[in-house]
Structure 1
Amino acid sequence: MSLNLRPATPDDIPALHRLVESAYRGETAKKGWTHEADLLGGQRTDADGLAEIIAEPDKTLLLALEGAALVGCVLVARQADGSAYLGMLSVDPERQAGGLGRRLMAGAEAFAAQTLKAPRMEMTVIRQRAELIAWYERRGYALTGETQPFPLNDERFGLPKRRDLEFVVLTKAL
């Protein structure tokens, strides 16, 4: 079945929220290989956070649909320096390891290059997620050596199960 990408609207928030939470947190997330459930509890995001993203003109949450089924999403944001930021890449845990994430990421990169005219894509990944970092590296992303702090004390982003979490920055020319 073909994968259709389109920007999220406020009407998509309930389904989008279920998808993101299922991909990142709790027992459902453990069905897939890219979860954070062993590092973080609590929520990954909430409906208000998703509404803020959708309302922000420099951010686009692309939905991946197979037919009418929401199977993935990815955030693409224009950064101040003209580059793009990729975040919240989420794939239904039941559908992971089938190439959907790769196709969704390629769609996000095409959107960033064609619509935003971004010369490169940047992302942050929790340092302790070595298998996910390796996956991104196999798709052309490179570690920059830069790190950023994880919001350890902001429950909107989850409840850390360890205190040494931090982000690494990866980049790819588009």
Structure 2
Amino acid sequence: GWTHEADMLFDARTDLATLATLIEDHSRILVALDGDTILGCVNIADRGAGLAYLGLLCVDPQLQARGIGKQLIAAAEATARDSFNANRIEMTVIDRRIELIAWYERHGYSRSGETRPFPVPVDPPLTMLVLVKAIG
């Protein structure tokens, strides 16, 4: 489906050590809850000079298409503005994720024209598109 990368990636995308580093490194992990049940999460990081980075957006697959992702993005953007004094936000998305890129574009993100290599080597190699949005 368009909401996951199981057809491209087979390993875990993150681990507890990486999450701990994100929290310690000018970053926030926002969690959507229903009581004690985790519905989804997103990471927002301060990159300085008015720039924030949005990553690790995920929603429980059983709960997708209910607006939780949209709410997490809105919360991340508000956190970037209020906590980091950011006026723009960027994210990276695997370039083959056409439907996901379109979803982000519907939520105000634009292709910057910049690409970056996927952070870990995979075969075949993957490329990340950089998407940006003004939030100030």
Q: TM-score range by the shorter chain?
A: over 0.9
1:81 CA drift (Å)? 2.6
Give me the identity figure in percent: 51
The answer to which structure has the higher strand fraction is: 2
Q: What SS does the aligned partner of 1:98 have?
A: coil
Please say if residues 152 and 163 of structure 1, whose CA atoms lie closer than 8 Å, have aligned partners that are also in contact.
no
The alignment status of 1:164 with 2:132, answered yes or no, reads no
In the TM superposition, what are the counterparts of 1:58-73 in structure 2 within 5 Å?
A: 58-73=26-41
Give, in whole Å, the separation in 2 of the partners of 1:102 and 1:151.
25
Give, in whole Å, the separation in 2 of the partners of 1:164 and 1:45.
18
Kindly report the root-mean-square deviation, in angstroms, between the aligned alpha carbons of the 2 structures.
1.3
Moved over 2 A (4+): none
1:84 CA drift (Å)? 0.6
Partner of 1:147: 115
Q: What SS does the aligned partner of 1:140 have?
A: coil
Which ranges of structure 2 fall in alignment gaps of 5 or more residues?
Answer: none
Tell which has more relative contact order, 1 or 2 (C-alpha 8 A, sep 6+). Answer: 1
The answer to which structure has the higher helix fraction is: 1
The alignment covers a number of residue pairs equal to 135
TM-score by length of 2: 0.93
Change (3 A) 1:95 1:54: same
Which ranges of structure 1 fall in alignment gaps of 5 or more residues?
Answer: 1-29, 154-159
Partner of 2:61: 93
